[in-house]
Structure 1
Amino acid sequence: MTAGVEWLDRVNKRDEVIGRVTRDEAWARSLPVRVINAFLVNSHGQLWIPRRTMHKRMFPGCLDMSVGGHVDSGEDYVEAFRRETQEELHIDLDMISWRERAAFSPFETALSAFMRVYEIHTDQAPDYNRDDFSEAWWLTPCELLRRIEAGDPAKGDLAELVRLCYGDQLT
């Protein structure tokens, strides 16, 4: 394995592993890969929404999901969810309530990858990794979409993911 290269599993239309690809190649060629995303949800139905730091290579300074990342080659979705949640929010999933909210295919949605979406239930804002995020807010799905529509920059899949997962709360 080459140092500094992030290897992902390349998958077919049924989300079955058919090979490996670097992250850069996957995005340059729009190849199907796997990602996880999660939202911290409090007892008021608000989502904990962070802003990415300005030094991020992709989507610098953008609003983001509470947790997000690629599923590394050889990893499954839950392993990636556990790893990313620990890295980004310093949360041990064995110590908190969570569930899988949804699973999506890029062939059936406008999303960029095969995606599992999780919810972490808590009323406490996390002690997040300051290398990943610069600030954060508790926002209802409607408040978040209004911010994005008003021009607050957001990560590519964020608005669509909120509509797909929390559309019943948008009326």
Structure 2
Amino acid sequence: MTNPAEELLDVVDEHDRVIGTAARGEVYRRGLTHRCVFILVRDPAGRIFVHRRTDTKLFAPGAYDMFVGGVVGSGESYAEAAVREAEEELGVHGIAPRPLFKFLFEQDRFEQDGFDQDRLSWWCDMYEAEWDGPVSPQESEVAWHAWLTPAELADRLTRDSFVPDGVEAYRRYLGLRSA
């Protein structure tokens, strides 16, 4: 398995145009803008797949997230990355994420559970999907998981540490659904 810090990512500008490539570790260290995908996965009952990231993750180790997803590799499309990430993290095949919206996530300072970064900046392409079968989450990515109702997720958001980009994406998702 390749070291995640060495994975090549496209570096993009404020308009999401590719301006270069760099290793993920360098992208994080320098706070370069790159691309990510977020997939909100629900079961047929409307529960949301929520998980805790492993303590070995480069970004926000041990934090909770209500999205599966991750960085878009260099030369990879958002749609390709959405399918790849959802299938990898859930341990499934045949998932079909539906695109929702895209936004630029930026944060000047982030410190959480040993992760210390001066600048966070990435384009987030949002998807949702429904999955009605069993899941077998990737152990290197997911330390704990459960299907939570929206009310249970809202409660956890008040007491657990969630990834900041996921919190912002979920806020925007809820705004879209209520519009």
Which bin holds the TM-score, normalised by the shorter protein?
0.7 to 0.9
Aligned to 1:133: 142
Aligned to 1:99: 98
CA 1:52–1:106 in 2, change beyond 3 Å: closer, same or farther?
A: closer
2:157 is matched by which residue type in structure 1? Answer: I
Confirm or deny: 8 A CA contact 1:112 1:157 kept in the other structure: no
What CA distance in whole angstroms lies between the structure 2 residues aligned with 1:131 and 1:28? 22
Aligned to 1:166: 174
1:45 is matched by which residue type in structure 2? Answer: G
Q: 1:134: Cα distance to partner?
A: 1.8
What CA distance in whole angstroms lies between the structure 2 residues aligned with 1:101 and 1:9? 22
CA 1:145–1:41 in 2, change beyond 3 Å: closer, same or farther?
A: same
Aligned to 1:123: 132
Confirm or deny: 8 A CA contact 1:48 1:125 kept in the other structure: no
Deviations 1:80-110 (A, max 9, x none): 1122123211222xx3443112211237xxx
After superposition, residues 142-157 of structure 1 pair within 5 angstroms as: 142-150=151-159, 152-157=160-165
* Identical counterparts, % of pairs: 35
1:159 is matched by which residue type in structure 2? Answer: V
Confirm or deny: 8 A CA contact 2:105 2:165 kept in the other structure: no
After superposition, residues 70-89 of structure 1 pair within 5 angstroms as: 70-89=71-90
What CA distance in whole angstroms lies between the structure 1 residues aligned with 2:128 and 2:59? 24
| Contiguous gaps of at least 5 residues in structure 2 | 107-119
Q: 2:64 matched to 1:55? A: no
Q: TM-score, normalised by structure 1?
A: 0.82
Q: TM-score, normalised by structure 2?
A: 0.78
1:9 is matched by which residue type in structure 2? Answer: D
What CA distance in whole angstroms lies between the structure 2 residues aligned with 1:166 and 1:117? 12
What CA distance in whole angstroms lies between the structure 2 residues aligned with 1:168 and 1:18? 31
Aligned to 2:117: none
CA 1:97–1:86 in 2, change beyond 3 Å: closer, same or farther?
A: closer
- CA RMSD of the aligned region, Å? 2.3
**Of Structure 1 and Structure 2, which has the larger fraction of its residues in strand?**
2
2:167 is matched by which residue type in structure 1? Answer: A
| Contiguous gaps of at least 5 residues in structure 1 | none
Confirm or deny: 8 A CA contact 2:67 2:166 kept in the other structure: no
Aligned to 1:28: 29
SS in 1 for 2:97: strand
Aligned to 1:45: 46
CA 1:79–1:141 in 2, change beyond 3 Å: closer, same or farther?
A: same
